[in-house]
Amino acid sequence: MTDIAVVSDPAAMSEWSDGVRARKKRIAFVPTMGYLHAGHMALIEEGRRRADVVAVSIFVNPTQFGPTEDLARYPRDLPGDLEKSAAAGAQVAFIPETATMYPPGAQTFVQVRELEKGLCGDRRPGHFVGVATIVLKLFNIVRPHLAIFGEKDFQQLAVIRQMVADLDVPVEIVPLPTVREPDGLAMSSRNAYLSPDNRRRAVALSQGLNAAKALRGSGETRPSLLVNAAKEIIQPKVDSLDYLEIRDSTTLAPLAVVDRPAVILVAAFIGGTRLIDNVRL
């Protein structure tokens, strides 16, 4: 079927990693929730460039979903995920059961208090507690030297970086730019939810963000005008705009003037699907 080892037991996964480390080999890790696309494969391929072996995890983490969110219907395709992981160069896939990762009586969670505020943190209460907790657990089990994340989930990346720094986790965090469809739409597993008409409308997100980037490139530094340039393109095409904001690209603090590295971030509903995207300014 695939040339990839599949491990479900955390102790067995750690034993595999310890064996690799004993041979003085570097481990790159790509944590995923499955339903892999070209963006995930780019992360795995980068891992191959930076390390000797690549491990992926496939785990739809329940603690990062709210009670009304799409946990039950989140797209899944394990056979396809294993094929794609192997094709991109991963040697092992860690696929644990939920009851293994969150056994009865589990009560410890990780919170990155400031960076989880605002943006997706306000709209999805508890989401980043779930993210930080599962990523730390996966790091402890897989024991990689480096882990690779896409910048599409920009706030998530900031949370993970801060968690790693604050808790002295010996894992290098490697960000990769968002991988996009030819028309600019950011690749996402949730794109599978989009009808053909909604898929056509969704490209407005990247078009609006790039309009703001172009205006910033012409010298504009007022956040309100940059946001408006994006909103004029995005708002007519979406069913509801969750947020459209400019933040400091490191601290995620709001900016009164864009005079430093910044990012413009958007979340919007198209049909019943919530999509996010961002572009560095």
From the first residue on, what is the mean pLDDT of each consecutive set of 10 residues in the chain (281 residues)?
Answer: 88 98 98 96 98 98 91 93 97 97 96 95 94 98 98 97 98 97 96 96 98 98 98 98 97 96 98 96 95
Position 68 scores a pLDDT of 85
Distance CA 250, CA 244 (A): 17
Count the Cβ atoms, other than its own, within 10 Å of residue 113.
10
The predicted structure's pLDDT at residue 54 = 98
Taking domain 5-176, whether its CATH number is 3.40.50.300 is answered by: no
CA nearest to 70, candidates 31, 127, 118, 116: 127
N- to C-terminal Cα distance for the chain? Answer: 44
Which one is the CATH code of 189-280: 1.10.1240.10, 3.30.1300.10, 3.30.70.2610, 3.40.50.2300?
Answer: 3.30.1300.10
pLDDT at residue number 116: 94
Could you give the strand order of the β-sheet that contains 146-150, starting from the edge strand earlier in sequence?
5-7, 92-94, 53-58, 27-32, 146-150, 172-176
Q: How far apart are CA 114 and CA 112, in angstroms?
A: 6
Domain ranges for the chain, please list them.
Answer: 5-176, 189-280
pLDDT computed for residue 1 by the predictor: 46
Q: Which residues are known to be catalytic?
A: 40
Strands (E), 33-145: 53-58, 92-94
Distance CA 91, CA 6 (A): 9
Nearest alpha-carbon partner for 139 in 164, 117, 120: 164
pTM: 0.95
